[in-house]
């Protein structure tokens, strides 16, 4: 596809959110190039005519991609995405999520990228916040190496903006869900419940299931990202709905979509955050974004995708 909107390099573009971003960019008339090591991404998430490089963002080979493709913009989704893995192996998490990101940032500066868009995290940065829904200015107190690494990269990006003139948008996501979600690599409870129930297994709920999350549908997320890419300011935004949904409620929604009757197995152990919900007031006021897809519709669309895949 030819366009005059510029070329976008998407790291992690074969993954869940990344591949949806690729679809939207193509639809909007951008040229797109994807870099993904396929550790969690799936090549089938991408159209065959999208230039694809199977490259680890930590590798020197990344510079060859920049040299050849000369992207105008970069979306950075590539990451070690499992919070539990980050706790078990903080060094590996930091190697991929911090060192890999620094390699990417250096290439952005070396090859004159106009703007980088970084996929950060909301829930993992704010911890057990006293203000809910939580705004961007709330103090960051990450409780996991994953959250610590994301915050570190945010700070590096601000350093690169100040010292090297690299423009940026930092996106702090709530719990993103939707088609193509990888239930094995991410904390995607909608995907996990759908896969388990379709396989005839009883899903496991950690604790009493009353812990809440802010679930935001993937098409709303990539739309927010595009708005920030096209804006002329460097800024940090939460992307969420401001609505809390319990894990038990998600279980019931998935069950209703499948018309199945399961009893969840409750496991006593739950060590994560009890409440996580983001305020998206800032992005609404600055850029006019608000989520369009309701929880009920989003779960229905996601479950339909999992049914079609089985």
Q: Check pLDDT > 70 for residue 270.
A: no
Q: Is residue 87 part of a domain?
A: yes
Rounded distance between C-alpha atoms, residue 89 and residue 152, angstroms = 17
Quick one: tokens of 66? 């920049």
**Rounded to two decimals, what is the model's pTM?**
0.96
Q: Is residue 258 part of a domain?
A: no
- Indicate the number of domains in the chain: 1
pLDDT band at 83 (very low <50, low <70, confident <90, very high): confident
Q: Check pLDDT > 80 for residue 15.
A: yes
Rounded distance between C-alpha atoms, residue 252 and residue 229, angstroms = 36
Q: Is residue 294 part of a domain?
A: no
Q: Is residue 209 part of a domain?
A: no
HSE-CB at 96 with a 13 A cutoff on CA atoms is 22
Quick one: tokens of 99? 């060192």
309 or 106, higher pLDDT:
106
Please tell me whether residue 71 adopts helix, strand or coil conformation.
coil
Q: Is residue 145 part of a domain?
A: yes
Domain limits for position 51: 7-177+216-239
Q: Is residue 139 part of a domain?
A: yes
Q: Is residue 194 part of a domain?
A: no
Question: The domain spanning residue 223 has which CATH number?
Answer: 3.40.50.720
Catalytic: which of 30, 73, 138, 146? Answer: 146
Q: Check pLDDT > 50 for residue 2.
A: no
Which of 17-21, 107-111, 166-170, 262-266 shows the lowest mean pLDDT across its residues? 262-266
Active site residue 168: no
Q: Is residue 144 part of a domain?
A: yes
């Amino acid at each position: 596809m030819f366009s005059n909107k510029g070329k976008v390099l998407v790291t992690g573009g074969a993954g869940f959110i990344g591949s949806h971003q690729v679809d939207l960019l193509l639809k909007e008339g951008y040229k797109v190039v994807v870099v993904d090591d396929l550790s969690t991404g799936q090549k089938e998430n991408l159209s065959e005519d999208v230039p694809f490089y199977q490259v680890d963002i930590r590798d020197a080979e990344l510079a060859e991609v920049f040299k050849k493709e000369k992207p105008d913009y970069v979306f950075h989704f590539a990451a070690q995405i499992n919070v539990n893995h980050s706790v078990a192996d903080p060094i590996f998490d930091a190697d991929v999520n911090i060192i890999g990101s620094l390699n990417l940032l250096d290439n952005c500066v070396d090859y004159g990228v106009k703007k980088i868009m970084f996929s950060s995290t909301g829930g993992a940065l704010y911890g057990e916040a006293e203000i809910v829904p939580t705004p961007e200015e709330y103090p960051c107190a990450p409780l996991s190496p994953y959250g610590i690494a994301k915050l570190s990269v945010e700070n590096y990006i601000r350093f690169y903006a100040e010292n090297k003139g690299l423009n940026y948008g930092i996106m702090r996501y709530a719990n993103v869900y939707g088609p193509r979600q990888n239930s094995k690599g991410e904390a995607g409870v909608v995907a996990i419940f759908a896969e388990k129930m379709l396989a005839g297994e009883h899903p496991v709920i950690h604790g009493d299931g009353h812990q809440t999350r802010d679930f935001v549908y993937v098409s709303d997320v990539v739309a927010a990202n595009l708005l920030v890419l096209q804006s002329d300011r460097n800024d940090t935004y939460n992307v969420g709905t401001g609505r809390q949904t319990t894990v038990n409620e998600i279980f019931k929604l998935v069950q209703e979509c499948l018309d199945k009757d399961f009893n969840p197995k409750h496991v006593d152990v739950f060590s994560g955050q009890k409440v996580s919900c983001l305020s998206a007031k800032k992005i609404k006021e600055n850029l006019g974004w608000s989520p369009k897809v309701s929880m009920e519709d989003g779960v229905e669309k996601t479950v339909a995708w999992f049914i079609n895949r089985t």
